[in-house]
Structure 1
Amino acid sequence: MSHRQPYVRPMTRNWWQGHPFYRFYMLREATVLPLVLFTLFLTYGLGALVAGPEAWQGWMHFMAHPVVIAINLVALAGSLLHASTFFSMMPQVMPIRLKGKVIEKKVIVAAQWAAVAVISLIVLLVV
C-alpha cells in the first residue's frame, strides 16, 4: 500500500480576484441575488392582488420605495448582462447554417436583440 498523500491545491477565499475573467464571472453570478429579490417582490404582489384592494395599494406603496426601485434597477441590469453574455456565446455553441453557409455571429446576436425588442414592444402595447 502506498503512503503517498494526494496533492490538494490550496484554494483561498479570493481566488477569483486574480484574473479579470473570473471577476466578471463572479459579477455575473452575483446578479442572481437582485433577481431573486425581484421575484420575491412580484410574488408578494400576486399575494396582495389576491388579498384585495387595500393589500394591493400597500404593495404599490412598497414598490415605490427608493430601495426597492434601486434593487429592481440592479435586477434589470443583471438581466441585461445575462442576456448579453448568453446572446454573445450562442453563435459559438450552436452555429446556424443557411444554405450550407454559417451565418455571421454579429447577425445572429443582432437578430436575438431584435427579437427581444419586438417582444418587449408587444408586451408594452398589450399591458
Structure 2
Amino acid sequence: MSNRKPYVREMKRTWWKSHPFYRFYMIREATVLPLILFTLFLTVGLGCLVKGPEAWQSWLNFMANPLVIAINIVALIASLFHAHTFFGMMPQVVPMRLKGKLIDKKIIVLSQWVAVAVISVFVLIIV
C-alpha cells in the first residue's frame, strides 16, 4: 500500500459564480423551478376538476390569489427565457441544410418562434 494521499480539490458551493458562462447556465437551468410550481398547480386543478364543482371553485379561488398569479407570471417569463436560449442554440446543435447550403441561423430561430406563435394562437382559438 502507498502512503500517498490523493489530491482532493476543494469545491465551494458557489463555484459557478466565478465565470459568466456558468452563471448564465445556472440561471437558465433555474428556470425550471417556477415551472415546477406551475405544473403542480395545474395538476391539483385537474384533481379538483374530477372531484366536483365545489373543489373546482376552490381551486379557481386559489388561482386568483395574487401570489399564485405572480408565480405564474414568473413561470411564463422563465419559460420564454428558456425557449429563447434553446432556440438560439438550435442552429449550432443541429445545423440545417437546404440544397447543400447551410440555412441562416436567424431564419431557423425565427421559424421556431413563428411555430410557437402559430401553436399558441391555435390553442387560444380552441379554448
Q: What one-letter code is carried by the residue in structure 2 that aligns with 1:16? A: W
Q: Percent identity?
A: 72
Query: Aligned partners of 1:85 and 1:2: how far apart in 2?
Result: 49
1:32 aligns with 2:43: no
| Post-superposition offset of 1:123 | 0.4
- By how many angstroms is 1:2 displaced? 4.2
Equivalent position SS for 2:6? coil
Question: Tell me, which stretches of 5 or more residues in structure 1 are unaligned?
Answer: none
How far, CA to CA, are the matches of 2:91 and 2:97 in structure 1?
A: 10
CA distance in 1: counterparts of 2:102 and 2:4, whole angstroms? 52
User: Hey, what's the Cα distance between the residues in 2 that align with 1:27 and 1:16?
Assistant: 10
Q: What amino acid sits opposite 2:85 in the alignment? A: T
Deviates more, 1:53-62 or 1:13-22: 13-22
Q: Which residue of 2 aligns with 1:74?
A: 74
Does 112-121 or 19-28 show the bigger shift?
19-28
What is residue 12 of structure 1 aligned with on the other side? Answer: 12
- In the TM superposition, residue 17 of structure 1 has moved relative to its aligned partner by 1.2
- How far does residue 5 in structure 1 lie from its aligned partner after superposition? 2.9
The 5-angstrom pairing of residues 47-126 of structure 1 reads 47-126=47-126
Q: How many residues align?
A: 127
For 1:65 and 1:124, the matched residues in 2 are separated by 23
**What is the deviation of 1:54?**
0.8
- 1:29 shift after superposition: 1.4
SS class of match (1:112): helix
Deviation at 1:117, TM superposition (A): 0.4
Q: Separation in 2 of the partners of 1:87 and 1:13?
A: 30
Distance 1:72 1:121 in 2: 19
State the distance in 1 between where 2:5 and 2:103 align. Answer: 52
Tell me which amino acid in the other structure corresponds to 1:86: F
The TM-score normalised by the length of structure 2 is: 0.94
User: Unaligned regions of 5+ residues in structure 2, if any?
Assistant: none
What secondary structure sits across from 1:13 in the alignment? coil
